Amino acid sequence: MSEANRIAEQMRRVMIGGAWHGPSVLEALDGLPVSAAVAHPIPEAHSIWELVRHIDFTQRLLQRRVNGENPSATDADFFPPVTDTSESAWKAAVAGLRAQEEALCALVAKLSDDRLAEPITPGGSTVYETFHGHAQHNAFHAGQIRLLRKLLGV
C-alpha cells in the first residue's frame, strides 16, 4: 500500500468509521436531531452544525489547494453561518460531508510520493503534513461533537 493510500485510509477512518480514537465524525453525528445540531449548550462556543460547516469548508479548501489553487480564507470563512436550520438541510449537510470526504480521500490516495513531499501552497506545509493534519483536525472535532452531545443529553 502506498503512503498516499495509508493517509487516505486514516482520513476515511476518522470521518466515516473504524478510527482508533473512538467514534468517527459521522458516527458522532449519527441519529442527531436537528434541534441538537443547532443548539449552543456552551455560550459563545460553536454548535455541532457550525462544526459540520467548518469541517466541510476545510475539506473543500484542501481539495482546491491540492489541485493547485491557492484561495485565501478568512477566519469567518472557516465557520460559515448556518442559515437554513430545516431537517432536510441538516441531512444534506451530513450527506455532503460524507461525499466531500470520500472525494478528498480518493484524490489523496492517487498522490505520488513526490507530490506528498511538496508544499500544498507556496511556503506552506507539505501535502503529507497537511493531510495528516486534516485527519487530526477531524478527530478533534469528532471529540467536540461527542462532548456537545453529552451536554445536550442526546
Q: List per-residue pLDDT tens for the chain, 154 residues long.
A: 899 999 999 999 999 999 988 999 999 999 999 999 999 999 999 999 999 999 999 999 999 999 999 998 998 999 999 999 999 999 999 999 999 999 999 999 999 999 999 999 999 999 999 999 999 999 999 999 999 999 999 9
Contacts of 134 (CB under 8 A, 6+ apart): 11, 58, 59, 62, 104
DSSP 59-122: HHHHHHHHTT------TGGGS------SHHHHHHHHHHHHHHHHHHHHHHHT--HHHHHSBSST
Query: The cell 459540520 sits on which residue?
Result: 52
Question: What domains, with CATH codes, occur in the chain?
Answer: 3-152 (1.20.120.450)
